[in-house]
């Protein structure tokens, strides 16, 4: 029994490590917290109950079967804020850049379904580069499932999105359908595609801040409801 418990604890430690020490340090160097640190700050102390901690992706293309981190780049579960129950998912940029896979999407959808069933708010902490290209249409289908939940939850339970990093493509379509969006000045961005692609296609030079920064979306587009330090 002790061996089993030791193995379980080792797997938990591996899951908590996300993409590894080097990537976590890089995240901190940018002035950003990890997915788990954000959840711990958001929720009441000791209230977080995590789901699907050890779930991993099923992709076998492009050598992906050799890299299957536990949790697949998103931390999901429920907890309380000032005693009120909420469901939360937090994307982990240290794991494949927080990109959405089929499994990643299934974890998010599970949380959204539970929020609907229990009449509780759902909070998304977004830090993702968009679809995981190694999974192709399976990733895109995952986004479709998430979007469907956004529609089903609209007007039924509060949906809140926190944009905590450079989010592009599908990673911002879902937040755009939620009730409230909050961004971080100088470190979070929302755009369909980044400045490099814009320059390639239109030959227009634009900075990330001009294209989809917090000031752009709070002062011009009105996509976001607030920008904070």
Mean pLDDT, rounded, of the chain: 92
Give the domains, in start order, of the chain with CATH numbers: 2-228 (3.90.226.10)
**Contact at 8 Å (CB) between 193 and 166?**
no
**Mean per-residue pLDDT for 29-56?**
94
Q: Which of 74, 85, 139 is nearest to 110 (CA)?
A: 74
Helix (H, G, I), strand (E, B) or coil at 147: helix
The DSSP call for residue 44 is: P
Q: Which of 91-100, 112-121, 150-159, 189-198 bottoms out in mean pLDDT, i.e. has the lowest?
A: 189-198
Distance of alpha carbon 191 from alpha carbon 172, whole angstroms: 7
Q: What is the pLDDT of residues 68-119, one digit of tens each?
A: 888 899 999 999 999 999 999 999 999 988 999 999 999 999 999 999 999 9
């Amino acid at each position: 029994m002790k061996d089993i418990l030791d193995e379980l604890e080792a797997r938990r430690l591996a899951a908590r490590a996300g993409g590894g020490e080097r990537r976590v340090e890089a995240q901190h160097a940018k002035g950003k917290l990890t997915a788990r640190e954000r959840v711990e700050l958001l929720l009441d102390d000791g209230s977080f109950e995590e789901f699907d901690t050890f779930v991993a992706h099923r992709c076998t293309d492009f050598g992906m079967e050799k890299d299957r981190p536990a949790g697949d780049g998103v931390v999901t579960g429920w907890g309380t804020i000032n005693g009120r129950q909420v469901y939360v998912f937090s994307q982990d940029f240290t794991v494949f850049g927080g990109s959405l896979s089929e499994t990643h999407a299934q974890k998010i959808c599970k949380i959204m379904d539970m929020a609907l069933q229990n009449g509780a708010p759902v909070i998304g902490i977004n830090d993702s580069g968009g679809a995981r290209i190694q999974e192709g249409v399976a990733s895109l289908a995952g986004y479709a499932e998430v979007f469907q939940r956004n529609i089903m939850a609209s007007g039924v339970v509060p949906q809140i999105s926190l944009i905590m990093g450079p989010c592009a493509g599908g990673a911002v379509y879902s937040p755009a359908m939620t009730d409230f969006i909050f961004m971080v000045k100088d470190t979070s961005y929302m755009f369909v595609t980044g400045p490099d692609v814009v320059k390639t296609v239109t030959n227009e030079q634009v900075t990330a801040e001009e294209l989809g920064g917090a000031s752009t979306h709070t002062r011009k587009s009105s996509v976001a409801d607030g920008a904070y330090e």
